[in-house]
Structure 1
Amino acid sequence: MRNCVVTVLDTTGIQSYIFGSNRLRENIGGSYLVDRATDEWAKWALRELGQKLNQTIHIYDPDRPADRPYIEDGELAAELVYAGGGNTVLLFQSLDIAKQFTRILSKRILADAPGINLVAAHQPFDWDNESLCKVIQDLIKNQLDRQKRERISSSPLLGLGITAACQSTQLVAVDMSDNHGCPMPYLVSGEIVAKLDAVKAANDKLDDTLFDRKLPKKYKIALDFDDFGRSFGENSYLAIVHADGNNMGDRFQEHGKKAKSNRDYITAMRELSDSVRRAGLTALKEVANAVVNSIDSDDKVKGKFTIKDKKYLPFRPLVYGGDDVTFVCDGRLGLELAAIYLNSFKDQPAADGKPLSACAGICVVKAHYPFARAYELSEQLCKSAKKFVREQKEEWGDEDLSALDWHLAASGLFGSIGEIRQREYQVTEGDLTMRPVLLEHDYQWRNWPNFSSLIQTFNKNEDWKGRRNKVIALREKLREGSQATIQFLKAYSIKNLPQIQEAADEVQDCGWTEGHCGYFDAIEAMEFYISLNEEKSNEHLSSKNQAIK
């Protein structure tokens, strides 16, 4: 009998830790520290443990797979199974060694990343007679989740005597921000000091990840929300895009169950985790390339707006390295970049041989709107898109559907996305929105190609181009319902509205079908959408015209 201990690491409260500030530098540093805590620092803690015990440690590296010995050979003190998807899984020779490791890692996190809460769950395991797959699944589902729920929140030590408060966390200030690379001086706590000190390393990592090192870097990566691009005399908007892979937890479980042995399970989990990580990074690189390639010689994005100071990219990832991705960009690019990311992600190979799919939520807000609230809305929108995918899967049976949902907040945001939709988009006729939309689908008219080509039609078709008042008037009539829309078309001598593929013919006559308005979303988004890949949009328009003929 060969006994060992399985350890699973996770963090709690990372959303508020990363996104709880309206200062981009703090968001950048927070994201970088969370990633380091359960990946690079876990590997560092293993090396420290090996030196302390004077024993060999196996640290898995996807680029350099190691040969034996393995943990089951009895010659290793510990082995890193995999780190990714929010969890780090390790195997130890004994519970005492596992606890020594967590002490080393916890001390590092307390010192270098105050504010991050680490949760560790341990489970003894019989290598010969138990399934590692089942033990890890039970450990994550039961013990780890229970520890998260039952964890006693830490109470930070507040000031004694006369102290000043940090402007971001309201904890005791220990320094000024301008001593840590921030141009704007303000009081900061130890947590914010750690985040600001991590910004340069985070930027260097992102620079190397997104761009070819051999290419000259003409543009800089933004460090402030005001660097994402503005149009003179207009309000500045940001888009927060949150994308997440579909059913990834179930896929990992199913892939692991196919393993014939515990060592096969470890290999399978490593391969799938690494393939998903590479897929996310490749898709993100394609987004970055699309942004760079859209900037012309006058430093304008598709001729629409000039990038800030002619040097800052209007795009910046905050969370990446897996199927869970969050990035920020100029508000006019959010919808298009989300679609580019989803399209690229689904084209990447995965180790289990199944196609990848994901959903995205896009929240467009004014530049200085509370960032935590905007991120919360983007998460809700992503969940809305996932719900739509599940409904379509039940109807059509497709396994690899992707979808996106969005909200364009010209003013404030009050309530959940469901409450906002009910309050602002429900009328007597039905639902004004076609959102969420599938990324692409042959049988459902509520899809991205239809939405994007409708915007192109309203912007470029002779009946609508340059006739802003006419388009706005149509939008108001659509709100009043199908009969009002029919009267509007007669008054303007318009034969019918633009065609929507796969929709019933009635939508061209009255603007409505199946309880949804087919055109309201496109009209609302006209000022918030810039196509970076007009060739594909034109192909869709061409196919629509062929269908009409």
Structure 2
Amino acid sequence: MSKYIATVIDTTGIQSYIFGSNRLRENIGASYLVAQATDEWVKCALRQRFGENVYIPHTQREKQTTQPEKHIERDNLDAELVYTGGGNALLLFKNRDCAVKFTKTISEKVLREAPGLKIVVAHSDSFEWGNKLSGIIDSLLQELERKKREYNPSVPLLGLGVTASCLSTGLVAVDTSDRYSVPTSYPVSREIVEKLRAVDPNNPKNKEPANKQLINTIFEGEGLNLGDYTVPYDVDDLGRTEGRSSYMAIVHADGNGMGDRFKEYGKNKGDREYITAMRELSGAIDKAGINALQKVASRVIQLAEGNLQEQFAITERDGKKYLPFRPIVYGGDDVTFVCDGRLGLSLAALYLKEFEAEKENIPDGEDLTACAGIAIVKTHYPFARAYQLSEALCSNAKKFMRDEKERLRISDFSAMDWHIAASGLLGLIGDIRKREYHVAEGNLTMRPLYLHSDNEWRNWDDFSQVVHNFNTHPDWAGSRNKVIALREQLRQGTEKTKQFLQVYGLDNNYLPPFPEAKTSNDDFYQCGWIDDPRKNEKICGYFDAIEAMEFYMSLKEKTNGDLLPENVTP
């Protein structure tokens, strides 16, 4: 009986590879190269090594082909691609020699075309068909994680005293950026050269492939029309308003419990049934993330063409108008995008809602949830640090979700956390909140939030309505000084807040209510503070809302006199 080898390929250190630079062009190019390394380049390496004697399944993004499905155990193939997705690839080979040949080919391609990108490969022991492939893959993934932990990074030569250094990597410069259609000139290493080639509109071999892939994947979906808009390469093109608003938002979202989900779905299945199941689930989750981002892109285009023209300084250059939104990492459940700072919170919430709505297309029948972190920073704040903040905030939201699951005995749910950095950042997000958001009365911040909840008032739907009321209700709209004064009184505690409302004649109208909150505690709306059942302290319900007033923009648009709900795309 034939014996086979399973191989898994993954990348390591991709956060630093993609977001180690403070230049958006380089981040975009790096993300494209990472996606290529574990997808298209894997397929190219298989064809290069084994010709037609391989089977590469089409993905849900690709058009259906007439290619007959082949099985390695039936058709005497050299290799079969099980799936690519989530930054890794799983393959089967007919023997170890084929697996090693393929690994050499893909490794050389990565070294040549994506210098600086680190890949890790793990091979299983040889196994016979029908020997529970799911268990073999589980063990192989554990071996891969062990290899990633033990990875011994190379130490590159840093050059001589007479060589220039790359401004982004510190490595030896081999060229200058202006040769790759960058407006400014600075020395770049080989790693940065390849990243810039991926976004170079004058690249003779392949004109800006990163942008082509983005447009084909996100901006040419059903009902989408990019029109005269162009997706930006620079943060200055995200819609900043001179003298008024110069903030960008970096949104990082990640699906909940995906590793366990794949493991559970593959349980108790025969080898071929397991392969089919993994392809179905991987493809469906990849499509869910793409569909959700397409809905976000559609809403941004819709708003830019209508309601946002007066509020955004849409950048125009060479007859093109730049959209205030740019996906950087996309596909699967791991998504990162950058946008105008005033859109960050609303677009993050919209993405989570649309991702949840894709559950009907997921073959395991389970709910689809995710968490998001939103870092809102000055436009020229170091991009790498802003991304690290968004990632930490996403982790914070996930910890909140796990803690609430254990406390309330509930299922996974979507959650979001954010931080608005009006100036620099000093310390970790937990340290910042202890230092800046704790007062004698209790905790000023209510973050993280549920995306939506019928039982918990700390949810995005209620929160956004409170922010909207502060911005539009006659008691507060047009009186910025009064709102700022309220914020300072909230710092002083319940009694000072009550006195403030009495002075302004608001002791009967109270503070804006949380519409769906299952609380009849009128004192909460009179003083802004309430006991936190999670901790032995009080929590403020309004400080975050006041802080977010300038960074919240409703995604509702008038159509025939009606308002569309924020999670519906026409």
In the superposition, the TM-score normalised over structure 1's length comes to 0.93
Q: How many residues align?
A: 534
1:23-422 alignment runs, 5 A limit: 23-51=23-51, 56-62=53-59, 63-64=64-65, 67-73=68-74, 75-141=76-142, 143-160=143-160, 162-199=162-199, 200-212=208-220, 215=225, 217-259=227-269, 261-296=270-305, 301=308, 303-309=310-316, 311-348=321-358, 349-422=361-434
1:127–1:262 Cα contact (<8 Å) kept = no
Amino acid at match of 1:4: Y
1:74–1:93 Cα contact (<8 Å) kept = no
Q: 2:534 — aligned with what? A: none
| Separation (CA, whole Å) in 1 of partners of 2:225 and 2:35 | 27
Q: 1:5 — aligned with what? A: 5
Deviations 1:315-348 (A, max 9, x none): 0000001100000000000000001100100000
Point out where structure 1 has 5 or more consecutive residues left out of the alignment: 542-549
Q: Specify the SS of the correspondent of 1:427.
A: coil
Deviations 1:59-82 (A, max 9, x none): 121344864541112610011000
| Pairwise CA RMSD | 2.0
Deviations 1:4-57 (A, max 9, x none): 001010111110110011111100100000000011000000001114xxx611
Deviations 1:93-151 (A, max 9, x none): 1111111101000101111110001110001242335221111112112x111211222
Query: Which of residues 443, 448, 460 in structure 1 aligns to 2:460?
Result: 448
Q: 1:506 — aligned with what? A: 523
Q: CA deviation at 1:399?
A: 2.4
Amino acid at match of 2:256: N
Q: CA deviation at 1:163?
A: 1.1
Return 300-309 or 490-499, whichever deviates more.
300-309
| Separation (CA, whole Å) in 2 of partners of 1:8 and 1:65 | 27
Amino acid at match of 1:94: N
Q: Specify the SS of the correspondent of 2:230.
A: coil
| Separation (CA, whole Å) in 2 of partners of 1:540 and 1:221 | 25
Return 483-492 or 29-38, whichever deviates more.
483-492
More helix by share: 1
Amino acid at match of 1:57: V
Return 229-238 or 319-328, whichever deviates more.
229-238
1:432-443 alignment runs, 5 A limit: 432-443=444-455
| Separation (CA, whole Å) in 2 of partners of 1:483 and 1:99 | 72
Q: Specify the SS of the correspondent of 1:311.
A: strand
Q: Specify the SS of the correspondent of 2:121.
A: strand
Q: CA deviation at 1:197?
A: 0.4
| Separation (CA, whole Å) in 2 of partners of 1:209 and 1:21 | 25
Deviations 1:475-504 (A, max 9, x none): 111111111111111222212211122233
Q: 2:202 — aligned with what? A: none
Amino acid at match of 1:507: F
Q: CA deviation at 1:158?
A: 2.8
1:435-514 alignment runs, 5 A limit: 435-494=447-506, 495=508, 496-500=510-514, 501-503=517-519, 504-514=521-531
2:449–2:459 Cα contact (<8 Å) kept = yes
Amino acid at match of 1:170: G
| Separation (CA, whole Å) in 2 of partners of 1:429 and 1:161 | 58
Q: CA deviation at 1:386?
A: 1.2
| Separation (CA, whole Å) in 1 of partners of 2:91 and 2:233 | 35
| Separation (CA, whole Å) in 1 of partners of 2:488 and 2:212 | 49
2:122–2:144 Cα contact (<8 Å) kept = yes
Q: Specify the SS of the correspondent of 1:124.
A: coil
Q: 1:544 — aligned with what? A: none
